[in-house]
Amino acid sequence: MMNYDLLIIGAGPGGIFSAYEAKKLNPDLKIGLFESGNSLERRKCPIDGVKIKSCINCKTCGIMNGFGGAGAFSDGKYNITNEFGGTLYEYVGKKEAIDLMNYVDQINVENGGQDTKLYCNENSHLKKVCMQNDLHLLSANVRHLGTDINYIVLENLYKQLKDCVDIHFNTHIDSVEKLEDGYRIISGDSSWTGTTCIISTGRSGSKWMGNICKSLNIKTKSNRVDIGVRVELPYAIFSTLTDELYESKIVYRTEKFQDKVRTFCMNPRGVVVSENTNGIVTVNGHSYEDPARYTENTNFALLVSNHFTEPFKDSNEYGESIARLSNMLGGGVIVQRFGDLIRGQRSTESRVRESFVTPTLTATPGDLSLVIPKRQLDDIIEMIYQLDKVAPGTANDDTLLYGVEVKFYNLEVELDKNLETCHKGLYVIGDCSGVTHSLSHASASGVYVARHLYGNK
């Protein structure tokens, strides 16, 4: 007999919402949820800025792994849109994708997010201002939970799941085997079987997912990798945009190389943080809903998308090599003043200390031009000057740039319209599928597969 009706690998947003919806549709289901990281309350990053100032390579990264996935300690932005965040709509249809994301938003609101704000930029006059400066503001409704409220929502979802789902923490799955009537998953000397298996291991499981696809002969195709920096500047400079929209997804095609550069993960009054992916330290940003935790700064990423053609196939390895170089030179994250970068000089501790912008992350002052390839760095500099036209002050000397920020994307797994692989009963959802790249899309994909499996047909 099978141990479970449903095996779910990964307790990020995709795994959580697939378990939530499956149990809602069929309370009698026996579900096993397997997570390589810790439970929510045990997810702690030891970096305190005083005794421990940089990543110490914990056995399991408290920021990237554990219940809630990498999104647990993000700033909790759920973007309800088909314009970015993934291509789920190509599988389920545009209306269905939006309906699924709205359903996820409803669950989040019911579980602690009721006092948070839903922003909309559909008819914003700022779109016109951006277009007049050759910048393109993408349309979206944005629910900002904040890192603090996002944690509360996850706590409430966990309370609902823990008594009706077997949740196995600190359980890294080594392999997935196809059986005649289901699947076996193996972790060390332990194994479990299930009739159906959903894989939802997120971006941090990108290499793992590639190996699983090879072992099961599931076709994949190369995806992209985004290379860039995290910008930190005074809150007031971007307040016109963030006060109205909160999240401004702005895309620009550079004049020099015709590459697309975009803003990503904007955190008004937020903090810059480091994170560990497969032993490589990169940079990210968080923000909070509680005014008591506000800072005087806003941070956001500037990312250049890199698509590769034959014969090169490992886009993630390209991104990792750049991140490793940053770790080698800076011992982790490097920070540089924009003025120093333009003048071709490295930033020093004294220059950063005397800056009018106080950094929210302890990073090593250095020279990003020794790390980021010239093409991507030229793109980023051009974008900063372009943003300066709609948010004057962006290109100030004291604007801080942290590097590197890398967004790894999984190989795109070959899936049918139900997100099912070539093996019946094996589904791949969330960011590890290469289909989704955001909290809202990943969560929606979990709901979609649960409904496909256990909803009314």
Looking only at the bridges linking them, the beta strands covering 166-168 and 31-34 are parallel
Gyration radius from the chain CA atoms = 21
Q: What is the dihedral of CA 359, 363, 366, 372, to 10 degrees?
A: -100
- Quick one: 72 and 146 in the same domain? yes
- Quick one: 158 and 16 in the same domain? yes
**Minimum mean pLDDT among 43-47, 211-215, 284-288, 378-382: which range?**
43-47
- pLDDT at position 410, please? 67
Evaluate if residue 113 carries a pLDDT over 80: yes
**Minimum mean pLDDT among 6-20, 52-66, 112-126, 372-386: which range?**
52-66
- Quick one: 391 and 275 in the same domain? yes
H or E segment at 175?
strand 175-178
- pLDDT at position 362, please? 92
Evaluate if residue 249 carries a pLDDT over 60: yes
Evaluate if residue 37 carries a pLDDT over 80: yes
Q: Tell me which residue range forms the domain holding 363.
A: 225-408
Q: Which of 430, 441, 446, 453 is nearest to 209 (CA)?
A: 430
Q: Per the domain annotation, does 131 fall within a domain?
A: no
- pLDDT at position 200, please? 96
Q: Per the domain annotation, does 108 fall within a domain?
A: yes
Convert the pLDDT of each residue in 418-454 to its tens digit.
999 999 999 999 999 989 989 999 999 999 999 999 9
What does the buried/exposed string (b/e) look like for 128-139 if buried means 16 or more CB atoms within 10 Å of the residue's CB? ebbeeeebbbbe
- Quick one: 175 and 282 in the same domain? no
Evaluate if residue 457 carries a pLDDT over 70: no
Mean of the pLDDT values across residues 79-87? 93
pLDDT grade for 76, boundaries at 50, 70 and 90: confident
Spatial contact of 296 and 234, defined as CB atoms under 8 Å apart = yes
Q: Which of 200, 239, 166 is nearest to 2 (CA)?
A: 166
- Quick one: 244 and 365 in the same domain? yes
- Quick one: 162 and 281 in the same domain? no
Convert the pLDDT of each residue in 21-32 to its tens digit.
999 999 999 999
Q: Which two tokens stand for residue 108?
A: 């989040």
- pLDDT at position 171, please? 96
Evaluate if residue 72 carries a pLDDT over 80: no
How many independent structural domains does the chain possess?
2
- pLDDT at position 319, please? 85
- pLDDT at position 223, please? 65
Most confident of 4-18, 58-72, 114-128: 4-18
Question: Vertex 356, ends 351 and 358: CA angle to 5°?
Answer: 85
- Quick one: 448 and 416 in the same domain? yes
Question: Vertex 275, ends 281 and 368: CA angle to 5°?
Answer: 45
Q: Look up the CATH number of the domain holding residue 159.
A: 3.50.50.60
